[in-house]
């Protein structure tokens, strides 16, 4: 038998205070003490939106089970079910419907909206315990499965990184090559995370190589890479080489591009202050970086790199024409 524990967090939603109190007392009698109540559908949505952080940085709803009265005020109970099912943190939270009707059509609508089981009022104590324990047990098994799948994904990623490490590292700068950029963006897309992308280009790098030779051009790349590495930025930011005289910075799981913008500004300022002589530039006696950034989530991550490169190319052409 599955026993109630202090970790079983249950939310009861009913517009009838007496009804919610009765269910709460029954649950407490059965050993479930982490029980809260909500008086309306909007209250349910607000409470479930108050996410908590688990170990590893994942977030989840603060409840393991929702007991929902179909006649919840403000927002219809079926609509509450549907909304919870499309949210990442509540899509797998068990929902037990409490209703006075045994109309098959109504119950079928509840299942279609996302409910997992139901109890009919007046509530039978034994049936309530059986359904609650069953749903909590199913949720625990589901969490174990999610953890196992997360571990397998991590092991697989580590294995891939180990195999790709040699191919991904650019020897001149010691930085990962451009392949890692798309790998990280694809990983963010699969994990339903957003990402910021920053681009840094040494202006007239081809002219520098033409004038100074390949060996000195490689040294310039290494020097600029050292500046990039030494400039403080978000801990999650990953710096990569992205072609001759070009670098990319990927910042996964960020909600804005603000940190990326600040980081690029500091890098550009540091390079300007270093006053590295160019000697063959059409516009400036010293090495100058062109920087730009982009942000996206979901499907847009697929085209994020292309959009950034195309935008930078257009900006550079306009800048050169103005110069």
Tokens of 141: 């098994």
Task: Measure Cα distances from 323 to 70, 269, 316 in Å.
Answer: 68, 20, 10
pLDDT band at 269 (very low <50, low <70, confident <90, very high): very high
Task: Measure Cα distances from 268 to 192, 231, 287, 292 in Å.
Answer: 31, 10, 10, 11
Residue 250 has pLDDT above 50, yes or no: yes
Given a contact cutoff of 8 angstroms between Cβ atoms, the answer to whether 228 and 253 are in contact is no
- How do the domains of the chain map onto residue ranges? 9-148, 171-322
The fraction of the chain above a pLDDT of 70, given in percent, is 86
Res 131: pLDDT: 92
Res 275: pLDDT: 92
Tokens of 243: 């072609």
pLDDT tens readout for residues 272-314: 999 999 988 877 899 999 999 999 998 888 888 888 888 878 8
Strands 289-297, 194-202: pairing kind: antiparallel
Res 267: pLDDT: 92
Contacts of 310 (CB under 8 A, 6+ apart): none
Res 163: pLDDT: 55
pLDDT tens readout for residues 43-80: 888 888 865 545 444 556 679 999 998 766 556 778 88
Res 145: pLDDT: 81
Residue 12 has pLDDT above 90, yes or no: yes
Res 51: pLDDT: 59
pLDDT tens readout for residues 185-231: 988 988 889 999 999 999 999 999 999 999 999 999 999 999 988 88
Residue 3 has pLDDT above 70, yes or no: no
Res 239: pLDDT: 92
CA distance 290 to 271: 11
pLDDT tens readout for residues 28-42: 999 898 999 998 888
The average confidence (pLDDT) of the chain is 84
Query: Measured between alpha carbons, how far apart are the two ends of the chain, in Å?
Result: 78
Which residue, chain included where needed, has tokens 């994020």? 304
Please determine, looking at this structure, whether the domain spanning 9-148 carries the CATH number 3.40.50.300. no
Residue with more model confidence, 104 or 264: 264
CA distance 68 to 24: 12
Res 157: pLDDT: 66
pLDDT band at 166 (very low <50, low <70, confident <90, very high): low
- Would you call 25 exposed, middle or buried from its count of C-beta atoms within 10 A (0-12, 13-18, 19+)? exposed
pLDDT tens readout for residues 87-135: 888 888 999 998 888 888 888 888 888 899 999 888 899 999 999 999 9
Q: Using a cut of 0.75, tell me whether the model's pTM lies above it.
A: no
Contacts of 112 (CB under 8 A, 6+ apart): none
Tokens of 201: 């280009």
Of 80-89, 150-159, 313-322, highest mean pLDDT: 80-89
pLDDT band at 150 (very low <50, low <70, confident <90, very high): confident
Domain 171-322 - what CATH class?
Answer: alpha beta
Geometric angle at alpha carbon 84, from 81 and 90, rounded to 5°:
130
Given a contact cutoff of 8 angstroms between Cβ atoms, the answer to whether 45 and 71 are in contact is no
CA-based nearest residue to 202, from 101, 128, 272:
272
Given a contact cutoff of 8 angstroms between Cβ atoms, the answer to whether 241 and 170 are in contact is yes
CA-based nearest residue to 128, from 7, 5, 31:
31
Residue 268 has pLDDT above 70, yes or no: yes
């Amino acid at each position: 038998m599955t026993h109630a524990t202090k970790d079983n967090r249950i939310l009861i939603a009913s517009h009838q205070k007496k009804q919610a109190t009765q269910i709460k007392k029954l649950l407490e009698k059965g050993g479930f003490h982490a029980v809260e109540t909500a008086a309306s559908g909007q209250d349910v949505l607000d409470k479930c939106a108050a996410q908590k952080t688990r170990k590893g940085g994942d977030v989840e709803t603060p409840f393991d089970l929702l007991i929902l009265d179909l006649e919840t005020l403000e927002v219809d109970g079926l609509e509450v079910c549907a909304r919870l099912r499309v949210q990442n943190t509540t899509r797998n939270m068990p929902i037990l419907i409490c209703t006075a009707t045994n109309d098959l059509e109504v119950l079928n609508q509840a299942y279609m909206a996302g409910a997992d089981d139901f109890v009919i009022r007046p509530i039978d104590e034994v049936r309530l315990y059986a359904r609650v324990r069953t749903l909590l047990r199913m949720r625990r098994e589901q969490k174990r499965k999610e953890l196992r799948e997360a571990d397998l994904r991590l092991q697989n990623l580590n294995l891939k990184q180990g195999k790709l490490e040699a191919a991904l590292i650019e020897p001149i700068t010691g930085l990962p090559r451009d392949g890692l950029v798309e790998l990280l963006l694809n990983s963010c897309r699969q994990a339903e995370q957003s990402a910021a992308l920053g681009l840094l280009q040494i202006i007239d790098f081809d002219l520098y190589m033409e004038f100074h030779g390949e060996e000195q051009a490689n040294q310039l790349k290494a020097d600029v890479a050292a500046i990039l590495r030494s400039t403080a930025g978000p801990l999650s930011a990953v710096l990569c080489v992205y072609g001759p005289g070009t670098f990319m910075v990927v910042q996964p799981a960020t909600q804005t591009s603000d940190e990326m913008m600040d980081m690029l500004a500091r890098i550009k300022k540091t390079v300007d202050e270093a006053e590295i002589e160019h000697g063959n530039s059409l516009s400036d006696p010293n090495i100058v970086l062109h920087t730009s950034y982009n942000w996206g989530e979901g499907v847009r991550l697929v085209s994020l790199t292309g959009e950034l490169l195309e935008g930078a190319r257009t900006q550079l052409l306009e800048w050169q024409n103005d110069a």
